[in-house]
Chains A and B, each alone.
Chain A
Amino acid sequence: MLPFTPQREAGADLDARTVGRATLLASIEDKLRAAARTQGRPHVLLVGPHGSGKTHLVEVALHRAGADPAFASRMVVVRIPEDAVGITRFEDLPRAVLEHLAASPTDGQDPLEVIDRALGERVALLVVENLDRVFDDLGLAGQRALRSWVETSGKVLLLATSPRLFPAVLRRDQPWFAGLAVFVLPALSPQEGRDLLLHSAQARADTAMVDFLLSPAGLARVHALAALTEAAPRAWTLIAAMADVGALDEVLPALLAVLEALVPQQQESLARLSPNERRLVVAMAAAGSGKVSDLAAAARLEQRTAAASLGRLADAGWVSGRKPSRADRRTTYYRLRDPMLRHHLQYRTGGDAPLPLTAALLRAHFDVAGSRAAVAHEPPTTALQHAQPDVAGSRAAGAEEPLTTALQRRDPRAAATAVLRSLRRVRAGSAVPALPGESSWDRLAALLLAAGGGDEIALLRLPQELHPLFDPLFDDVFDDPAPP
């Protein structure tokens, strides 16, 4: 099984495994069907980080739209390969269409004219992955040429994906501004993550896993893993494929199995960076979050060099920045966006081993929550339209949960105290394997105490996986800077 190569799987199989995307899929399917039946050309862009399920959704949408005879007869689906090293100029796109149509212009013939004739009344649906990179390579002239082709012919439709929104579609002075209907993929809720795991377990008749997932403890572990992975669909897919009940129950082994599976992909991604950018990425993984001067020092770079590299990393979607609302607002704190990359680097480099501690802390925290009736009785969600998790609500329903109460009162001290209690429980119960030293405990406790005292920078420096526990406080305290 190749769980993260959706193009190689049958659309029907992917469709059966799809959870939590009903509204989104219906919208995309509507647009594809409309393009097959009318002169409208609603170009679509799906935006979400790597592993968020963009390719999966594209394939499912194509599969569903393909059931419509009008779509099947009128649309010619041309897939541009995900690693589109072959698409560096505008001319490469018509070439890909020509190859698909098995048409070739003779010397001097205009390829666009040949495509137009070969299509007849049909429409070429170009499926373009990583449109941000493709547009970067095309440059302004290539983007204009593509727009011109699309507008003039009326026979070309784009169904594209990108890990980020990018200036070529965001800026009003660019040819593709507002030219694509943008759908941003939300993360799956823990309940939807559990549904995905349940589907997989049921498909292979793993009754032990089904029983565990339906138990309070099972749901608690899913919540912990959701916090650790930021609920990326690819992570759930890998957990479904690789974790047994024991690994899921322990949380950390399930996460490590996912990390191991992603090693080649992470290494390939890192290899694309410049040496300076790689140093900064490693520094960010170790620090969790930091301002330019801290990261420059950690990466042993000149501050100006680090700032320029961080700008490029932000533009390319590797890092995001946050500005504290009360402290010096000129300062931006950067962090890695992809949690799995952060874990990968933290775990590979050793350091003070925050991952086992964080995993244990989250396991303990959600175990407490999981023992309460409200969480235990959450049914598996088949109502796929409820894409947004209601984690805070489910915590609130656990009436005695002090963290929930503290968050409702927007009281950082009480919230930090609640998490410290979980931390002490983990330590007392020796739920964490032997750590290389006490620094992780001490550092975490110190940050929690400082955050409890109102130090918002300390709050920001907490391991990112703990941020979901403090979300209401973060929403209040930090502003996300506008996208580039």
Chain B
Amino acid sequence: MPYSGDVSVEWPAGTRPLSVNPGGIVPVDELVGRGSLITELLALAAPPSHGALLLGDRRIGKTSLLRAIETPLREAGHLVVRVSAETSSLETFGRALLAGLRSDRRQRSWEVDLEGEVQVSAGPGRIVLRGKGRRRNETAEVDLFSACATAARSSGEGMRVILLLDEFTVLASELDPAEGREFLHTLRRARQELPELAMFLAGSIGLHHALPGDKTGVNDLTEIHVDVLAQADAQLLAAGLLQGAGIRTAEPGEVVAAMVEQTSGFPYYLHGVAQLLADRSAPVTAQSVREVVADALEQDLWNTSHYDARLESYYGRDAAESVRAILDTVASTHAPTSPDTLLQSPPVAAQGLGRTDLLRLLRRLEADHYLRRAGNDSAFASDLVRRIWLHLRRL
């Protein structure tokens, strides 16, 4: 390996070269540190579970997890359809679902009732497939989810059709609120009525933004929280990316530690840092890791300004200032901060927030992955987000 001569400190045990790919589709066999989550998700594919709802910050790796369970589920005999619902139209979504369903011959048993080209029409409450019936001049209809159940039954006992629906909140938020709610309830009804069906849902937009105040469409699903990587896994990923990119360093241990510390183990940022380091021709040191992260924040290479810029659209103009006051206070305090401390801090006090309003905003900030709850206290979800906030607010 080109860097072996430079090694003065051991790479973490088990390090293997990984491809640097910030934001892109990561090969499943290059996923690091997600083994237990994958096991948990696979277990949720079996009855009585209806599936899972994956929650986590943008670019944390939810899509990669959906991809990771696709093959083992298929190998277990299930009929798996993975669809990105990143669209504004139910009909487009329905067509994508239909195409996925047709990609496996076993999944086409329902086609005996429909002949000719099948049209998809999506409306409130159902997605319908229309085609020619068996009799002359007859038009036949099949409910898409019922078709899924038929396909599952025909492929063996215990087999299910498992839908992996990515970005479902994009579609839910693009529809008008009543339609969006109906869309989620359509999916829920199908899960309830058809035991042969399971769904795994993920979305980069929080459901509370897509359909504020309504979780009834997904409350039958187990919530799975996708978080940053554990330190040992983050080190493995960092080391693998350094090796994969052929980045030269005389101090791999220090560089890996600096990458993990600077990114808080967030896979997307680990890839991002590795990409920036790969663009440098000089050998890399721990200091260069800190420099590229500082530069990236300064130049907003990762659009981290969004953490501040989106507050008005997330919380409304008035509440946005209260949120800034809360985040300023928590970021400036080096320990988890209690609600009482927040209420007494000058920036929050100046907003005139009562305890109930403060707690409501804290819950929203936890849902939006700014903060995490530590007992009764609040802390930043990660040190990286805290540093981003300090940088944005020049604190």
Contacts and interface: CB of A to CB of B under 8 A. Distances in A.
Contacts of A30: 19
A386 to B, nearest CB: 7
Nearest to A176: B23
Interface string B277-320: 01101000000000000000001101100100010000000000
Nearest to B21: A42
A428 B92 CA distance: 73
Contacts of B26: 40
Nearest first, the 7 closest Cβ-Cβ pairs linking A and B are A178-B23, A108-B117, A151-B84, A172-B306, A113-B99, A148-B86, A41-B25
B167 interface: yes
Nearest to B205: A173
B15 to A, nearest CB: 18
Given A113-B98, A147-B84, A482-B300, 10 more contacts: A31-B21, A40-B30, A106-B117, A110-B95, A144-B86, A149-B84, A154-B67, A181-B20, A181-B24, A386-B281
A40 B84 contact: no
A40 B87 contact: no
Nearest to A483: B300
A244 interface: no
B30 A170 contact: no
Given A113-B99, A152-B83, A40 B21 contact: yes
Contacts, number: 117
Given A144-B88, A178-B268, A151 B117 contact: no
Determine chain A's interface SS by DSSP, over half rule: loop
B324 to A, nearest CB: 18
B82 interface: yes
Contacts of A386: 281
A381 to B, nearest CB: 13
Interface in B345-369: none
Interface in A37-63: 38-43
B170 interface: yes
A72 B306 CA distance: 41
B187 to A, nearest CB: 17
B189 interface: no
Contact of B86 (A108, A109, A113, A147): A147
B118 A108 contact: yes
A109 B92 CA distance: 13
A12 to B, nearest CB: 25
9 contacts: A40-B30, A41-B25, A108-B116, A145-B92, A151-B167, A154-B67, A172-B310, A178-B268, A181-B20
A107 interface: yes
A171 B313 CA distance: 14
B27 A110 contact: no
Interface residues on A, range: 35 or more
B108 interface: no
B87 A145 contact: yes
A40 B31 CA distance: 11
A262 B25 CA distance: 40
A34 B83 CA distance: 23
B23 A180 contact: yes
Interface string B61-87: 001000100000000000000111111
Interface in A65-111: 106-110
B119 interface: yes
Contact of B278 (A27, A107, A149, A178): A27
A9 B275 CA distance: 31
A385 B281 CA distance: 7
Contact of B303 (A112, A113, A144, A171): A171
Contact of A181 (B21, B86, B118, B303): B21
Interface string B168-195: 0010000000000000000000000000
